[in-house]
Amino acid sequence: MGDILAFTISWIVVSVLGEMGVHALFQKGLYYYTATTQAVDGEAAFAFILTILTPVFAFIVVMIIYSMIRFRARDQEIRPSRKQFYNNKAFVSIWITISIVLNLMFFVHPTASAVEQMFNSERARYNSHDLIVNVTARQWQWFFNYPQYNIAQAQDSNGNSILYLPANRTVKFVLRSYDPMHTYDPYIGVVHGFWIPAFGLKQDVIPGETRYLYVHTTKITSFEVNPMVRVQCTEVCGPGHPFMEAPVHIVSSSDFLKFVKQQQQLQAQQS
Amino acid sequence: MSSVVSDMQGARSAHMKVKRMLPPVVRGLLWALIGFLIVNTLVSEVFDRMPYHPYVTRPSVTLGWVAAVIGWLLGVGAWEGFMKPYFGGTADWVVPNDWRKYFMYSIDHKVIGMQYIFSSLGGFLIAGFAAMLMRLELMKDHMWIFNNPGAYLSTVGIHGTVMMFSVGTVALIGGFGNYIVPLMIGANSTAYPRMSGISQWLVPAGIATVVLSPILGQWTTGWRGYEPLAGQDPAGIVFYYLGVFALTTSSLMVSINLTATILFKRAPGLTWNRIPMYAWGMLTVSLLNLIWLPEIQMTFLMGLLSAIIPLPYFSQLGSPLTYMEMFWLFGHPEVYIIVVPAFALWQELLPVMGQKSLFARQWGIIGLVFVMILSGLVWAHHMFTNMRNSQMLPFSFFTEMISIPTGFSFLVAIGTMWKSNLRLNTPTLFILMSLFNFLIGGVTGVLLADPVVNLQAHDTFFVIAHFHYTIIGGMVFSWFAAFYYWLPKFSGRMYNEFWGKIGAIWVFIGFNGVFFQLFLLGLKGMNRWVPVYPSYLQPMNFEISLFGFLLGLGFVFNFLHIAWMWHKGPVVGNNPWHSKTLEWQTSSPPANTNFDPIPQVIGSFYDYSDSKLAVATPYSDKKS
């Protein structure tokens, strides 16, 4: 009985310390930098799972360390342990029940609930002028096209692709993988991964298919402020894969209109 | 089968005048070269001749490779040991009883097991060296070791492929499985010893093929051979498919052999209730192999046909996602193929080291079996980023549920440790470290099973950290435990406890120093397969690389220690651990015939309440 008591106390102490550590981590931000509601949702799910699993983790770790110290053989002589038991129905039943209950709970929350939230929270904002951005991935470059503003390819003065988004807007990314410059070559499309680390989610871009990704931007920020605000390819797509990135700017609506006007002028000059 | 064994061993006295021949490995290389040259020439110069063609084309190298592998297998001894007896000839062939027997075809499961152990060790060192090169490259945020990203990506691919298919699936199954399982179940040979002898020699062929793939050109897809990208790759990808085919064929043959051995060659009295845990692990993992390896072989064959004919299975004209589905349909069970033997090892070693009865044995077995069953239902959690949102939930559900049978392994382990008389020696230390590391892998696995977290963490270093925690943390640490635990069995000698513990703590620190930081690095925005990355990630990568080199040296240190003690360690008795399982009830190292007579099992191997043996006719060392 003494061992069980000593173990339980150490387990509780370690769990409490663990929870404190985990919560300190949450305060700092698990995702380091978040710029959309989706990223915040994902971070919350992450935090919830870690909070629940901390005592479970502590249970096993304390069990290992406790057994290592308390039940170690104290001399060289090899002899059977004095306690021999093959089963403990109560312990096994509790273990199995808790693991089933925990898993069912995780499935309901955060798995199902967060998926629901991440993908359906935008329903309320439907038809409230989502910004549509057509994203084309080729080897090895991103193209951003704003069909509502007749911008065929957003680019800076050097001709590099740039992505500008207004803050506090829902953005619908339409993702396609093909090479607009070599449309005659059917073998050139490969799988790319569209990811903006600060946005908290990614979607693979698959040749021959069209995929959608919704985000709701929450703050004004840019690649210059935090390098996590960048478009990055995450699915290996050939030797140019590491270089397949583009800076992102999230700006106020008036700055966004300025950007639109500037791009339209640039496009007029080029044509 | 035993008649063939005696045939071959008696051959030395019966046929004293055997013609001299080249050493088998050299002869195998020669026959491989001849086979390759003949078939490659026929294909590229005669049957498939094109104007201004190169001598080596994709079809010719593929068929030439097949001929080379057949030549290699026959040359190392399958001709005398397999083909001639198969067609009714005599096995007029000398098996020298010294180190040379490890360099030729053999039908002794102990020799084959040892050959597998060294093959996978070779693969581990080669692939580990590739990892060191990768970590060296990642110390800076720009190219400085490799001169182009394709070379880096080929290195990543070689590292992953060799580690997965020649270490992860081979070391504990082909290696320790072949050596230990027949001993453990009281058999004198495996069920199909001649096939087993062939399967081993496919491993060096497969490793060599993958490692030499850059000769044909870089391939940039990593160990997964992702189509449609692979369709664009230069011809190196052909050797990826062929090398993996050789390695998976080898694993498949091992699995057939081990399944049949465990089912049909058990000693009398060794009922289902008494099968040792490691044998249970080998049985479940063999069934996993039998289900999933043919599936991935078919996928890779389709990939190969796309590369050499070419057929547009997986290009934009075909179905790019089909490759991924088929790959991960195998790819997730593969993870369990790697760790199920580790689970079994925990449950095998802890009762011995604690001299205490195995706790909740039936739940341990249920856990192994349910992991085996569920592992085929979870593959699509690798594909949350490219599936419809509505498909996510069922796969997320099964992925989370697999933590329940996995948890049973922990249940058995900690229940066995509780109130035991635990000897804290090197194998125990490695097992406890393996428990701890795999636990971190498991917890982060729950995170990755959650779709919204997965959408952020997928394809980042977070995932790399997670699977290295399960594979190195779980399997490789258990592999070392197995090395130290069975070293007295292999050699009759004991390792040095002090240096063993130093080695264990060394790799533990190196390992956690590398891979714990990779979680944070992934969340900070480091994506995979990049030799070049934003400069804000550089300080952390630099530090990780230093820990990485520490880890690599730690592995080398452990191997050197084991190798040294193999020859120079203090001699110990037949059963230094006071284990009750059968492999310790014979001499260490075992003689050519494991058991004479075959033991009769009358009790449980995991009952340490008294010192009575579980066998009625124990081995008696006639010399003493």
Q: Using pLDDT thresholds of 50, 70 and 90, give the confidence band for residue A116.
A: confident
Would you call A176 an interface residue with chain B, using a CB distance cutoff of 8 Å? no
pLDDT range class, residue B10, cuts 50, 70, 90: very low
Question: What is the least distance, in Å, from the CA of A62 to any CA of chain B?
Answer: 10
Cis (ω within 30 of 0) for the bond into B214?
no
pLDDT for res B9? 46
Statement: residue B564 has pLDDT above 90 = yes
- Cα gap B428→B416, rounded to integer Å: 12
What pLDDT does residue B624 have? 41
Of the ranges A35-39, A128-132, B111-115, B223-227, which one carries the lowest mean pLDDT score? A128-132
- For B324-361, give the DSSP string: HHHHHHHHHHHHHHHHHHHHHHHHHHHHHHHTSPPTTH
- B446 C-beta neighbours (distance < 10 Å), count: 21
Q: What is the pLDDT of residue B527?
A: 92
Q: How many residues does chain B have?
A: 624
Per DSSP, the residues of A40-92 read HHHHHHHHHHHHHHHHHHHHHHHHHHHHHHHTB--SS-----S---S--HHHH
- CB of B394 within 8 Å of any CB in chain A? no
User: pLDDT higher for B587 or B260?
Assistant: B260
pLDDT of residue B114: 94
> Nearest CB to A202: which of B149, B435, B455?
B455
Rounded-to-integer distance, Cα A211 and Cα A175, Å: 5
Among candidates A114, A211, A241 on the partner chain, residue whose Cβ is nearest the Cβ of B529: A241
Q: For residue A249, which of A269, A229, A232, A266 has the smallest C-alpha distance?
A: A229
Q: Which of B49-53, B177-181, B225-229 has the least mean pLDDT?
A: B49-53
Say if the Cβ atoms of B418 and A71 lie within 8 Å.
Answer: yes
CB < 8 Å from B in window 89-128 of A: 91-92, 95-96, 99-100, 103, 106-107, 110-112, 114-115, 118-119
Average pLDDT, integer, range B453-470: 94
Helix (H, G, I), strand (E, B) or coil at B249: helix
* B366-378 tens-digit pLDDT: 999 999 989 888 8
Nearest residue, CB atoms, A41 vs list B222, B357, B452: B452
Q: Quick: pLDDT tens for A141-165.
A: 999 999 999 999 999 988 899 999 9
Structure tokens at B105: 């075809």
Type of residue numbered B568: K
Average pLDDT over residues B445-449: 93
* A residues 36-65 closer than 8 Å to B (CB): 38-39, 41-42, 45-46, 49-50, 53, 56-57, 60-61, 63-64
Three-state DSSP state, A170? strand
Which chain B residues are closer than 8 Å to A173 by Cβ? none
Chosen for mutation from A235, A243, A245, A248 (greatest number of chain B CBs closer than 10 Å) is A235
In whole angstroms, what is the distance from residue B412 CA to residue B478 CA? 16
**CB within 8 Å: A242 and B421:** no
- Cβ contacts of B433 on chain A, cutoff 8 Å: none
Chain B partners within 8 Å of A232 (Cβ): 525, 527
Of A67, A95, A111, the CB nearest to B451: A111
- Between the CA of residue B164 and those of A93, A202, A238, B222, B607, what are the distances in Å? 36, 27, 22, 12, 36
Q: Which of B359, B446, B523 sits opposite A49 (nearest CB)?
A: B446
**Chain A contacts of B424, Cβ < 8 Å?**
68, 72-73
Give per-residue pLDDT as tens, B181-221: 999 999 999 999 999 999 999 999 999 999 999 999 899 98
The beta-carbon neighbor of B527 closest among A111, A191, A234 is A234
* A residues 218-237 lying closer than 8 A (beta carbon) to B: 227-228, 230, 232-237
Contact assessment for residue B140 and residue B531, using Cβ atoms and an 8 Å cutoff: no
Which residues pair with residue B460 across a beta bridge? B527
Structure tokens at B50: 């094109």
One-letter amino acid of B53: H
Which range is least confidently modeled, B63-67, B567-571, B608-612? B608-612
From A1-10, A74-83, A235-244, B274-283, the region with the lowest mean pLDDT: A74-83
Task: Decide if pLDDT at B168 tops 50.
Answer: yes
Question: Does residue B573 carry a pLDDT above 90?
Answer: no
Cβ-Cβ pairs closer than 8 A, A with B, add up to: 273
Residue B158 neighbours by CB distance under 10 Å = 28
Q: What secondary structure does DSSP assign to B122-181, as a single string?
A: HHHHHHHHHHHHHHHHHTSSS-SSSSSHHHHHHHHHHHHHHIIIIIITTIIIIIHHHHHH
A23 touches chain B (CB under 8 A): no
Task: Indicate the average pLDDT of chain A.
Answer: 91
Looking at per-residue pLDDT, the higher value among A61 and A76 belongs to: A61
Residue from B527, B537, B577, B584 whose CB has the most chain A CBs within 10 Å, to mutate: B527
CB contact under 8 A, B451 and A3: no
**pTM (2 decimals)?**
0.93
Interface contact A86-B357, CB threshold 8 A: yes
Does the pLDDT at position A36 exceed 80? yes
Amino acid present at B167: V
Return the pLDDT at A127: 58
Residue whose C-alpha is closest to residue A33's, from B454, B463, B535, B524: B524
Say what the pLDDT of residue B544 is. 96
Give B94 or B326, the one with higher predicted confidence: B326
Which residues neighbour B539 within 8 Å (Cβ) at sequence distance 6 or greater? none
Given a cut of 90, whether residue A81 has pLDDT beyond it is no
Average pLDDT value for residue range A207-217: 89
pLDDT at residue A130 greater than cutoff 90: no
Which residues have C-beta within 8 Å of that of residue A170, sequence separation ≥ 6?
A122, A125, A128, A130, A131, A214, A215, A216
Nearest-by-CA chain B residue for A226 = B536
Question: pLDDT tens digits for B377-428?
Answer: 888 889 999 888 788 899 999 999 999 999 999 999 999 999 999 999 999 9
Report, as an integer, the average pLDDT of A187-203: 91
What's the pLDDT score for residue B48? 85
The mean predicted confidence, pLDDT, of chain B is: 90
Q: Is the pLDDT of residue B111 over 90?
A: yes
Query: A131 near A216, Cβ under 8 Å?
Result: no
* Distant-in-sequence, close-in-space partners of B209: CB < 8 Å, separation ≥ 6: B65, B239, B242, B243, B246
Whether the per-residue pLDDT at B155 is higher than 90: the answer is: yes
Which one is predicted more confidently, A266 or B96? A266
Mutate to test the interface with A, among B356, B383, B450 (most CBs of A within 10 A): B450
Can you tell me the ipTM of this complex?
0.95
Check CB contact of B396 with chain A, cutoff 8 Å: yes
Torsions phi, psi for A84 (to 5 deg): -125, 120
pLDDT at B609 over 90: no
Lowest mean pLDDT among B51-55, B269-273, B527-531: B51-55
B294 touches A: beta carbon within 8 Å: no
Instruction: Report the sign of the C-alpha dihedral through residues B584, B587, B592, B594, in that order.
Output: negative
Going by their DSSP bridges, the two strands A192-196 and A230-233 should be labelled as: antiparallel
Confidence grade of residue B295 (pLDDT, cut at 50, 70, 90): very high
Highest-confidence range of B209-223, B550-564, B603-617, by mean pLDDT?
B550-564
Give the 3-state secondary structure of residue B222. Answer: helix
Which pLDDT does position B18 carry in this prediction?
54
pLDDT classification of B619: cutoffs 50, 70, 90: low
Would you say residue B95 has pLDDT above 70?
yes
Residue among A53, A60, A80 whose CB faces B611 most closely = A80
For A105-131, what is the mean pLDDT? 79
Determine the Cα–Cα distance for residues B22 and B396; give it in Å rounded to an integer: 57
A60–B607 CB contact, under 8 Å: no
Quote the pLDDT of residue A118: 80
Task: Give residue B1's pLDDT.
Answer: 36
- A86 close contact with B: CB closer than 8 A: yes
Calculate helix-pair angle for A37-70, B426-449, nearest 10 degrees.
160
B563 touches chain A (CB under 8 A): no
